Amino acid sequence: MKMRQLGYTAAWAAGALVMAGEAMAVSVAVPNSQFEAPGLVATAAPTESRGSWGLAAWAGGSISAYSPATAYPSQDGGNVGSLSIGGAQSGGSAFYQDAVLIKEGTYELTVGVAQEPGAEPTTEPFRINFESTGFGPPTALLGENDFALGSFSNTDLTDVTATISIPSGSPEIGRYLRPVLLLTGQDAGANPSDPRASYDLDNVQLQYTAPGGAPESLAVGQHSFDPLVWQRPAGSGGNAGEYRPLAPVFANQVGDQLGFISLRDHAGSWGALYQDVTTIGEGTYTMTIGVAHEPGYEPLAAPLSLNFEAVGGGLPTTLIGANTIPLGAISNNEFTEITVSVNVPVGAAQIGQDLRLVMVAAGQEAGSNPQDPRATYLLDNVRLDFVATPEPTSAALACLVITAGACRRGSRRRS
């Protein structure tokens, strides 16, 4: 099935008019253009997770994601997360993520854990805590789980699971559930020549079981601690990221996963996906992307915008092309190809900066489903083309010389 095609042009600035040869469009690579990475578990709906790990470290603690020189046999992906503390002072380090809006029921978080070879802890355990956060009240601790040193080895990852149950009527319902992967204290580890203690983490999984129901997998952002390609800032109940549906949503989707931006019925809700793709040059950039409304969760008020920004190079971030897509231009039964363009004129200050592709939606949005007040844009198959501003041809330059000469002769005749 072919996608419907709609085109929008953002006129940023008009370039100088030149007589030139025909310029050709060049395809610019867009990493993760079909939102296939990271590979996710299939879920019934786009995740409510903020989509990435928050990092915290204090008083000599350190935190990172890295690629081990020798991968663990059960490692998923190229990276692992690392929590580390030192022996000189008490400190801590933590990964945390606002993973899902809390409902009555039981949540189970499973993490693969190993002691880093050469930095095996000797006194301090690995911990999984659960917190509730967001929407007014202060962050609250819901549960703590310590795992004994003997639970883990330095040769492979061992899965451990922590559980939290939310009773009916809990005041935490509707807030974010925040799992915290934590190491605190003072521990010089087993290696005197490198006095620190570290746990390596991988393959974080989250399940939810409603009262009387079956376990349901929930997506965890950066579950294998691999770097993100699409950044996904969001706030006030909005979220964005990749989504692997249980079955294809549309006949014309490409691949098994989709991008999404979802809004909630909260003031100030917003979400975005963006990445920096190329160095800006003189010419026209054209982005094409498949866009749809999630069936049953169609937006009613907040449109999607497809924007271009110039970033980096010691200059402030600049919006160089903004395109608001009307709600009626997008359907809930197929992807519509939206095309937007921006022209970068000769001599523009942003030449040499990075070009950032931005997809953003913002606003309080209850959507079309009163039983689950949210609205979601689905995204697929991002492409970018560039047509450079052509150099004047020799014939054009000759014409300009002849024209200039004619002007001078005409001027002499009038004198």
- Whether the per-residue pLDDT at 406 is higher than 50: the answer is no
Residue 241 near residue 46 (C-beta atoms within 8 A): yes
Amino acid occupying residue 216: E
Give the predicted TM-score (pTM) of the model: 0.84
Average pLDDT over residues 273-299: 99
Phi-psi label, residue 134: left if phi above 0, alpha if psi -120 to 50, beta otherwise: left
DSSP 231-269: B--EETT-EEEEE-BSS-SSTT--SS-EEEEEEESSTT-
Tens digits of residue pLDDT in 122-171: 999 999 999 999 998 999 999 999 999 999 999 999 999 999 999 999 99
- In this prediction, residue 10 has a pLDDT band, given cuts at 50, 70 and 90, of low
Is the confidence at residue 377, as pLDDT, over 60?
Answer: yes
Name the pLDDT band for 6 (thresholds 50, 70, 90). Answer: confident
CA end-to-end distance (rounded Å), the chain: 69
Distance CA 41, CA 38 (A): 10
The answer, yes or no, to whether residue 209 has pLDDT greater than 80, is: yes
User: What are the pLDDT digits (tens) for 225-255?
Assistant: 999 999 999 999 899 999 999 999 999 999 9
Q: Within the chain, what is the greatest distance between any pair of CA atoms?
A: 101
| Residue percentage of the chain with pLDDT more than 70 | 89
Closest listed residue to residue 341, CA positions, set 279, 291, 384, 281? 384
For 216-232, the pLDDT digits (tens) are 999 999 999 999 999 99
- Among 59, 77, 85, residue whose Cα is nearest residue 183: 85
pLDDT digits (tens, 9 = 90+) for 327-343: 999 999 999 999 999 99
- Confidence at 403, pLDDT banded by 50, 70, 90: very low
Lowest-confidence region among 11-20, 168-177, 340-349: 11-20
| 52, 97 contact by CB (below 8 A) | yes
User: What band does 175 get if pLDDT is binned at 50, 70 and 90?
Assistant: very high
Q: Is the pLDDT of residue 1 over 50?
A: no
Domains of the chain by start residue, with CATH: 1-51+228-415 (2.60.120.260), 53-226 (2.60.120.260)
The mean per-residue pLDDT over the stretch 262-281 comes to 97
Residue 349: CB atoms within 10 A of its CB come to: 10
CB 312 within 8 A of CB 275: no
- Is the CA virtual torsion 133, 139, 145, 147 positive or negative? positive
Please state, rounded to an integer, the average pLDDT across all residues of the chain.
Answer: 91
CA-wise closest residue to 156 among 121, 112, 124: 112
pLDDT grade, residue 392 (50/70/90)?
Answer: low
Confidence of residue 48 (pLDDT cuts 50, 70, 90): confident
Confidence of residue 14 (pLDDT cuts 50, 70, 90): very low
Is the pLDDT at 15 greater than 80? The verdict is no
With bands split at pLDDT 50, 70 and 90, how would you rate the model's confidence at 4?
low
More confident residue, 403 or 273: 273
- Determine the pLDDT at residue 171: 97
